[in-house]
Structure 1
């Protein structure tokens, strides 16, 4: 075990080190936001496979699955262990704390593996087939900058760019002591960049997981799979929904429709889930999202729905405790609070008026800055950052 005096080592939205105590406290907060168990004591819970279980919506879905529904199964994340120079990744520490909170009796295994790799699929499905013989839910929540195609070995790199024409917009910058409204211009992606982004962030890997489950006979009547998606405001559409990421999300949604047609005769279902805005390690890499989310938080205050709240709503719908809220494209919608017409009108006005001078009155930049730090275990109340931290934390043992 190693005690270290840790410093964040951050530049802007990127942090070199994670704080294990802060990461644990973040998971504690998610746990407390999630409702207590809903089923009868001692009941055998459903079986879930959650891909991307250590961060963002995947982490929130995992916490809600364990805390509220007593889920059994497997969570998959790809996290870095501690080295001589750096702490383990934030997702490593979050996973360890999630397993602690679930308790020794939880029948849930965490795998540290590249979900894109065939070996990870085989390992996860070997465990599921041997221990449970079925899977009730598959939640796909993966955000990655690159993907190796298991069939060809080609490495695809995603690009965050507009399509068709250059993108010029306001951005929020934290490089100095005072938040600044800056300007950004990005050239449009070429066809190769668009295609590579689709290969990384679209539905290819989700479909491979379903293929693998089907080949093992693990799909049955009542099975439901969902993949996380986002739509967002027309303010961010040029860089998100109408950009390379949007092309990938469109592919993800097309994949959902294909899977639904395939699974329906089995009594199973497939949908994408359009979640609302959140501060995640993936979203902070997207230009203009920081400014937009800061404005949204200022407009909504405590009505800004956390990932824990959204994951709770999602599981209510997946388990049948509440009806599915589907739009005309058969997507599960969790983002009504964000895209409400009055809320968006307010955000448009704030966006138009946002400058470095007006920012304190229009945006909650302190909240956003804190949320970014929390992604790595920093800026968490009650955490003693002055004291040496125990950075050597074991990955949860397999059940």
Structure 2
């Protein structure tokens, strides 16, 4: 046991330590907010990137409403002498306890999903414990990836393409949020390519091929990769930038995989709406846009769990697939509604005045960031007392 008195070590959006009880409580809160029901199917699922954001929401919703079985994969850091474990580590332990108490057979692997060794570990576990899988959900987000074939290490960058980017951004460096400016130079072709290799469809394809090579695709197999489009306001740094190039590669990969699977299965991307995640908080201007969006929508801002519930309904056939002309499942229409975007544009047109009207949205955004690391979570967490920071990664025993 390691009891520590811990406080958040925060610089802007970056928090380098996590609160185990707060991280666990955030999982319990989402679990309780998901209506419990079951369709009696209990499909076998491999979920890559289960420990945060849309991956966590998809996992918890799948457990609560569809009784999914299978394997979750994440790459989380254990506790050290200087730091707590990552929030995703603590969230995984809490998720495992909830799943076990509810009688679900779902296990968790902490490994680099990009690596050949990581794939072999997971494939062997699936083969031994579950057999063929019904769903592969791809929700990985990482700053770098090593190509297993060449050993090349690719680093993703957040940059515009074709020219520099200058736009307003939310600055949390002082006592109260304020509007600053961000300026980024255009990415090189090498940086664009590297970002595609990290965040595009290359690794997703390797997973599908590896599963198929081991005979682990069930009849009617479905795979879906989670993606984002967003507003025209953030397009220069997102959809029209290096990240957007990677997302377009992901979408092209979906089309190729869908064709190659033929009658044996199907492949989609699912376009989710805006969310506060560790990955999204690193993208310039996204915080300000999200604060404005929250101000416009209030409680109409759809949670990740609500969107995950909609995704599962469509994947399982309980609701019709809602797809666009490119074949993408669309979960983001609530965000991109014309009336909603018009009101966000009005705030964006004069961002300093807009922020005065959107103080609540900015405070909400920062609170969401803190909760990602287990800080400021409602529900009886006593942050004044020492916390047990040594938490074991879930074992494979049931």
Whether the TM-score (by the shorter chain) exceeds 0.5 is yes
Q: Please report the TM-score for the alignment, with normalisation by the length of structure 1.
A: 0.97
Where structure 1 has 5 or more consecutive residues not aligned to the other structure, the ranges are none
Per the alignment, residue 12 of structure 1 pairs with 12
Cα distance in structure 1, aligned partners of 2:381 and 2:128: 41
**Post-superposition offset of 1:358:** 4.7
Aligned Cα root-mean-square deviation (Å): 1.0
Of 194, 214, 217, which aligns to 1:219?
A: 217
**Post-superposition offset of 1:39:** 2.7
Asked if the contact 2:99/2:105 (under 8 Å) is kept, the reply is no
Per the alignment, residue 366 of structure 1 pairs with 363
Per the alignment, residue 143 of structure 1 pairs with 141
Asked if the contact 1:277/1:338 (under 8 Å) is kept, the reply is yes
- Secondary structure of the residue aligned to 1:103 is helix
Asked if the contact 1:58/1:141 (under 8 Å) is kept, the reply is yes
Of 111, 120, 134, which aligns to 1:122?
A: 120
Asked if the contact 1:354/1:362 (under 8 Å) is kept, the reply is no
- Show the 5 A alignment for 1:332-347: 332-347=329-344
With 234-243 and 374-383 compared, the bigger mean Cα shift is at 374-383
Q: Which runs of 4+ in 1 moved over 6 A?
A: none
**Post-superposition offset of 1:218:** 1.2
Cα distance in structure 2, aligned partners of 1:63 and 1:317: 16
- Secondary structure of the residue aligned to 2:183 is strand
Cα distance in structure 2, aligned partners of 1:395 and 1:130: 20
- Show the 5 A alignment for 1:1-399: 1-40=1-40, 45-104=42-101, 105-266=103-264, 268-355=265-352, 358-363=354-359, 364-381=361-378, 382-399=380-397
- Secondary structure of the residue aligned to 1:136 is strand
Asked if the contact 1:50/1:75 (under 8 Å) is kept, the reply is yes
Number of residue equivalences: 394
With 229-238 and 131-140 compared, the bigger mean Cα shift is at 131-140
Deviation string 1:113-155 (CA, Å, 9 cap, x unpaired) is 0010111111111111122221000000011000001111110
Cα distance in structure 2, aligned partners of 1:88 and 1:362: 34
**Post-superposition offset of 1:35:** 1.9
Asked if the contact 2:147/2:154 (under 8 Å) is kept, the reply is yes
Where structure 2 has 5 or more consecutive residues not aligned to the other structure, the ranges are none
Cα distance in structure 1, aligned partners of 2:127 and 2:100: 23
Cα distance in structure 2, aligned partners of 1:166 and 1:182: 17
- Secondary structure of the residue aligned to 1:189 is coil
